[in-house]
Amino acid sequence: MAVSYKDLGLVNTKEGFQKAVKGGYAIPAYNFNNMEQLQAIIIGCAESKSPVILQVSSGARKYANQTLLRFMAMGAVQMMKDMGGSIPVTLHLDHGDSYDLCKSCIDTGFSSVMIDGSHLPYEENVALSKKVVEYAHAHDVTVEGELGVLAGIEDEVSHEVSHYTKPEEVEDFVKKTGVDSLAISIGTSHGAYKFKVKPGEEPPPLRFDILEEVEKRIPGFPIVLHGASSVMPQYVEMINKYGGKMDDAVGVSEKQLRKAATSAVCKINIDTDGRMAMTAVIRKVFAESPKEFDPRKYLGPARDELIKMIKYKNENVLGSAGKATY
């Protein structure tokens, strides 16, 4: 039987994105796959009073079980309420690659879906995105489309090189498909190895010229930035110190992300940073307490670190802290 997100206490992204674009901040979209990640997102966002998008990839859906995930999201909304806040929570499908997957998510309580047809020829991307929008809008679910391809791993689709978004396509795409937001490619990529830089060198800047051109063509339209982890140096250092090997890991600078957040970019996707924060702490516990075998003794501190990271990002990078008022 189909379940509406409204019965789960979730919201779509419509109102939140309008406020974020006008207010010059971005709503965080944090990926989760398990209970500790979800707890950290809820606590981090409730304590910093930030709206939040709980983001689920098809890999996460397979990993955690789709029914369990839905009940976890319901629990997240209730836990937020118990904490005394009224934080708007969106449950979003990340990188949906087919109409059937998007439909299945809409039918099982997602309030927002991404249809990622970015690897398809333009007209096929338009046709697929339009089909998803028609079903989604009939259920008051919002849809994120994508133009341009990010390098790295997009769920199960891997791209060796990125293709920047062509600004001349965006107006036509948005008009023909009816999508509610658009992910664009301006130089970010997924994962922990976003740029190749020599020690001491800064990574190259994002293509803000493309973003500005997009904004001119579709003024005020909500833009999404994928691959937006900073690959925080303290976690790279900690992982390497306690037996890991992530020497060449480099992400997007916080300065660049702050600049993006003040523009029409109203959703910033973060997965890698959360994975690294937890891994760093788990490695430390294992290295310092080799006799420990209670998962709560390493997952607990990992969760605490993730809460700290999320609050830091909401407050200092995305500007979403204190904005949970819609």
What is the CB neighbour count within 10 angstroms for residue 9? Answer: 16
**Helix, strand, or coil here: 116?**
coil
Any contact of residue 229 with ligand 13P (CB under 6 A)?
yes
3-state secondary structure 31-83: ECCCHHHHHHHHHHHHHCCCCEEEEEEHHHHHHHCHHHHHHHHHHHHHHHHHC
CB-wise, 108 or 229, nearer to ligand 13P? 229
Helix (H, G, I), strand (E, B) or coil at 311: helix
Site string for ligand G3H, 197-236 (x = CB under 6 A): ----------------------------------------
Nearer to ligand G3H, 154 or 305 (CB): 154
Virtual CA dihedral for 301, 303, 309, 314, nearest 10 degrees?
-150
94 a catalytic residue: yes
Q: Does residue 57 bind ligand G3H (CB under 6 A)?
A: yes
Q: Is 70 in the site for ligand 13P (CB under 6 A)?
A: no
229 binds, among ligand 13P, ligand G3H, Zn ion, none (CB under 5 to 8 A by kind): ligand 13P
CA angle 69, 75, 80 (to 5 degrees): 130
Min dist. Cβ of residue 57 to ligand G3H (A): 4
**Nearest distance, CB of residue 153 and Zn ion, angstroms:** 9
- 267 near Zn ion, rule: CB under 5 A: no
Binders in 91-130 for ligand 13P, by CB under 6 A: 94-95
Q: Choosing from 7, 82, 94, 100, which is the catalytic residue? A: 94
| CA proximity to 44, closest of 5, 92, 91, 83 | 83
Q: Report the sign of the C-alpha dihedral through residues 6, 10, 12, 16, in that order.
A: positive
Q: Interface with ligand 13P includes 260 (CB under 6 A)?
A: no
Cα(303)–Cα(312) distance, rounded to whole angstroms? 14
- Which are the catalytic amino acids? 94
Q: Which residues bind ligand 13P (CB under 6 A)?
A: 31, 94-95, 190-191, 226-229, 269-273
